[in-house]
Amino acid sequence: MRIEVINVYKCLLPVKGGSGYRMASDNVQLLDSTLLEVVTDEGLKGWGETCPVGPIYQPHHALGARAAIAEIAPGLIGQEVSSMRRIAKVVDDRLNRHGYAKAAFDIAFLDVLGQSLGVPISSLLGGALTDRVPSYYSTIVGTPEETARIAADKVKAGYPRLQIKIGGRDLEQDVATVHKVWEAVGYKARIAVDGNRGLTVATAMHLDRLCESIPFAFEQPCNTMDEIATLKGRLTHPVYLDENTEDLNAVLRAISLNIADGFGFKVTRLGGLSKMTTVRDMCAIRSLPHTCDDAWGGDIIAAACVHLASTVEPRRFEGAWIAQEYIEGHYDPVNPIVIRDGHIEVPQRPGLGVKPDPETLGAAVATY
Ligand code: 0XW
Ligand code: MG
């Protein structure tokens, strides 16, 4: 089976509610997602997506994704899709790095392959261990009272885990937020406190001490992996890396230096689902917990995260975050990926199990 055509679509995803998605590193209002449709000579259509959460969160941006796709896509026309490893080499031979754009191809090829074999993508990633995965709720940087109120509501709605955003403001506000959330939810949910690179080493140490008795994982408190390394042995809380896991080597380095107790993984940042199976297996060797998320995106990215999530050993799984709570509507109104009671069902249909409605996408912005 060969690739005949590749269509690229652009989809704008406004953040619900008007005030944006506020992190220490940025406040985003409108996200620009790139969708790929790979059409084969047998008439199968595979979908991929990559949607950076703005240009500041990590070194990815929407125009960069489409420029990288323009370098890669022409070389794929006429290529056989049955070997993921061979086609990944064709992609790598067209462009050095830019894993976040290559991820959209990886997801689309797996979608095609799953459909042609009649199996869900989870089967191609080693096989599902569950048919329903936990999600987690991520708050935005807000007042201590408002954040605690939302946290309590989301626990009532069934979320087994919360990610509380802090950083980019006074230490006092951040400390009060963590305390108020703990008073509101206690042991009813696991808590991650995400600094999104916004704290200095000194502030991270203060926050750690001032919240000493509260059990949470401290996610990406500081900007660089070197800063995080200096925290080793000086904090009472476990530290998870997110933004610093820019590629497989960064994960290997963090594990071998023993500076991460867990991870927030993003499928596109790591280069796609195939690469995610490598970090999943590296984490299994060291019993390290992790998420399977992406920074943003619609049903395609959501389905990709959920398929991978279903293959992770549940006791180490920290949840699959998808953007659904912050965006309106779905690309696939027939089989959308949805959070119910804080959990997401794993699609059982062949491939990704989602098909965007052509009406929602409009005309392709590029065709190869
Ligand atoms: C909660 N997320 C998965 C969504 C935004 O992209 C930020 C991210 C994170 O954990 O940093
Ligand atoms: Mg994070």
> Which residue CA neighbors atom 6 of ligand 1 most closely?
295
Which distant-in-sequence residues (6+ apart) come within 8 Å of 286 by Cβ?
A: 255
Atom of ligand 1 nearest to the CA of 21: 5
CA of 173 to the centre of ligand 2 (A): 19
User: Which ligand does the CA of 57 lie closest to?
Assistant: 1
CA of 103 to the centre of ligand 2 (A): 19
Print pLDDT tens along the chain (368 aa): 999 999 999 999 999 998 999 999 999 999 999 999 999 999 999 999 999 999 999 999 999 999 999 999 999 999 999 999 999 999 999 999 999 999 999 999 999 999 999 999 999 999 999 999 999 999 999 999 999 999 999 999 999 999 999 999 999 999 999 999 999 999 999 999 999 999 999 999 999 999 999 999 999 999 999 999 999 999 999 999 999 999 999 999 999 999 999 999 999 999 999 999 999 999 999 999 999 999 999 999 999 999 999 999 999 999 999 999 999 999 999 999 999 999 999 999 999 999 999 988 999 999 99
CA of 140 to the centre of ligand 1 (A): 10
With beta carbons less than 8 A apart as the criterion, state whether 316 and 284 touch. yes
Ligand 1 shell residues, CB under 6 Å: 23, 53, 138, 163, 194, 196, 242, 264, 293, 295-296, 321
Structure tokens given for 335: 């089989």
Structure tokens given for 83: 């070997």
> Which residue CA neighbors atom 8 of ligand 1 most closely?
295
Length of the chain: 368
Structure tokens given for 154: 């989301």
Catalytic residue chosen out of the listed positions 102, 154, 180, 266: 266
CA of 165 to the centre of ligand 1 (A): 9
Closest by CA position to 225, among listed 255, 270, 265, 269: 255
CA of 225 to the centre of ligand 2 (A): 14
Catalytic residue chosen out of the listed positions 102, 154, 165, 275: 165
Active site residue 266: yes
Atom of ligand 1 nearest to the CA of 294: 3
Active site residue 232: no
Residue 276 CA to residue 272 CA, distance in Å, equals 6
Residue 47 CA to residue 352 CA, distance in Å, equals 8
pTM of the model: 0.98
Atom of ligand 1 nearest to the CA of 321: 3
Which pairs from 228-237 meet CB under 8 Å and 24+ separation? 228/259, 228/260, 229/257, 229/259, 230/201, 231/201, 231/204, 231/205, 231/259, 232/258, 232/259, 234/205, 234/208, 235/204, 235/205, 235/208, 236/208, 236/209, 236/212, 237/193, 237/208, 237/211
For Cα atoms 163, 165, 166, give the angle at the middle one, nearest 5 degrees.
140
> Which residue CA neighbors atom 1 of ligand 1 most closely?
138
User: Which ligand does the CA of 53 lie closest to?
Assistant: 1
How many Cβ atoms are within 10 Å of 269's Cβ, its own excluded? 28
